[in-house]
Structure 1
């Protein structure tokens, strides 16, 4: 079996026992089982310094070549793309005293490696079971994340990954949030509460989810302009319900088209969500519809050999009743 040598990284080792005995993290054991390899842990401290000298030296070389000065990245995805490009660039490197490149050596060893498992990449997310509270939130590691209001009081499956929190109900994903880095925070999505707000429109102005939507930029100045004009003409309750109807359109229509539809509604002074939907569909990019192909069951020659239609048989009815 393939064996990979590790230091005593905390993500993999829960507790160090005597010698090389280790209590491994259950998720790390699942990772090894998925890819079919065994682990070898180095001795901690000075006793094991010689066991991973090559690894430490390679880390230093890579850092000096690609990460000095320390670069800045806007996201983890951008960092990963940079590291992948740097790793690919090292394929052309030659180790001192060797004639072939690193990439050529890796290609030569490739046939001896085991194939990747057929079930796809390993999912490192921790699967939890969380109950949705009365405010349509799940609590994960002392942080709160919203789900659609219809799931209040139910217990749902939550996949906790390094950067995301995914909520699953009956096999379908119902909410995806960016994982919070701090405790006691709330990540609320306004769309999750629209059905409740439609029954209680007076709760919308002070809703925490609305403040979060404004901060995230999903509730724009165009939405506010439509809301203000609708309340001025229809009253607070009816105007707010008209806005909620427009917000529901975001589930099926592109945001740009809805913003244009709201602008048209304000210009006409008609604050009907159906009108906004009509304008959004009219202004949305036309969808390409695939042509419908009708299968022909008979060969083309047979189609031409059929006799022309005739009404001669109906002439017999002329004498009936005479």
Structure 2
């Protein structure tokens, strides 16, 4: 009995089912029926199906860059094999029988949100620990409890009924290496707004985009640059981060890396170009009857006066 489904095995068929597995069974409306430990003969048909699927799909063993690529390939291969495998009970292939049955099938409901939940307390440095690694959390939740939702490929941190942040999950079973610390520099903006000096050597801000790093190098050379840099970074809390980043890049290209210029560029990017002005219909009395002609001979008159003096 896999540990993702059963927390404890009792006598006979008694099982203490994992809470999340029970929630999944309730979501998809199926009943659990567990075999005895180390008794594969109790589910011989399942074992045979697994053996056949392994031979069809996993020999030789393919490689995939991520879980999404694996699932996409698996779906494609299964659908292809439905057209090759005979149903066994009904005439035709699995695909033929599926085509007949599909008109009677109900649509699938929403997918089960399959995560394992843990309660964590955020450290004073705005970090939570999981599997020997540490992940940052918005500074406003320092020293407070949060809910950590663990997925196969990511971690989602929630509190007070809202999603706070999300990180890619670091999976490293080697105990030879020290754990990693994963920062999101946006989580520490509230800290540097109070203490701008922390921006200079703060580890979280080493992960900023290159344009922000270049801007920081320019601003920290002058008095008050810490505060000005923090105010520019804080713009991502109010505006789209990509728009702020584009404004910074344009300011650097123009050679004017200042907060005022960046704000000017940002507002133009957000508001878009001003629409072309419509032609003004001037009254007839204000219209010129004859277009003026440039007369350069008057400059000769001025030269003559200068020589006379």
Q: 2:240 aligns with which of 226, 233, 253?
A: 253
Cα 1:264–1:17 change in 2 (3 A) is closer
In 1, Cα distance between the equivalents of 2:117 and 2:40? 36
Q: TM-score, normalised by structure 2?
A: 0.73
3-state SS of paired residue (1:209): helix
Q: 2:226 aligns with which of 240, 256, 259?
A: 240
In 1, Cα distance between the equivalents of 2:31 and 2:86? 28
3-state SS of paired residue (2:157): strand
CA contact (8 A) 2:87 2:94 kept: no
In 2, Cα distance between the equivalents of 1:115 and 1:17? 37
Cα 1:96–1:219 change in 2 (3 A) is closer
In 1, Cα distance between the equivalents of 2:254 and 2:189? 25
* Alignment-derived partner of residue 26 in structure 2: 33
Q: Are 2:65 and 1:74 aligned?
A: yes
Cα 1:172–1:272 change in 2 (3 A) is farther
Q: Are 2:225 and 1:230 aligned?
A: no
Cα deviation for residue 100 of structure 1 reads 1.6
Q: Are 2:96 and 1:101 aligned?
A: no
CA contact (8 A) 1:201 1:240 kept: yes
In 2, Cα distance between the equivalents of 1:109 and 1:137? 51
CA RMSD in angstroms comes to 3.1
Unaligned runs of 5+ in 1: 1-7, 288-322
3-state SS of paired residue (2:40): helix
Q: TM-score, normalised by structure 1?
A: 0.70
Q: Are 2:199 and 1:199 aligned?
A: no
CA contact (8 A) 2:117 2:147 kept: yes
3-state SS of paired residue (2:32): strand
Q: Deviations over 1:36-95 (max 9, x none)?
A: 2111223333xx333333333333333333333322222111111111222222221232
3-state SS of paired residue (1:280): helix
3-state SS of paired residue (2:27): helix
Q: Are 2:179 and 1:190 aligned?
A: no
- Structure 1 or 2, whichever has the larger Rg, is 2
CA contact (8 A) 1:253 1:280 kept: no
Aligned length: 266
Q: Are 2:164 and 1:174 aligned?
A: yes
Q: 2:203 aligns with which of 183, 189, 208?
A: 208
3-state SS of paired residue (2:31): strand
* Alignment-derived partner of residue 42 in structure 1: 35
CA contact (8 A) 2:87 2:97 kept: no
In 1, Cα distance between the equivalents of 2:192 and 2:162? 24
- 1:102-181 to 2 correspondences below 5 Å: 102-108=94-100, 120-140=110-130, 143-181=133-171
In 2, Cα distance between the equivalents of 1:85 and 1:15? 37
CA contact (8 A) 1:249 1:277 kept: no
Q: Deviations over 1:273-293 (max 9, x none)?
A: 342133234346959xxxxxx
**Moved beyond 6 Å, runs of 4+:** 111-115
Unaligned runs of 5+ in 2: 173-177, 274-309
CA contact (8 A) 2:135 2:183 kept: yes
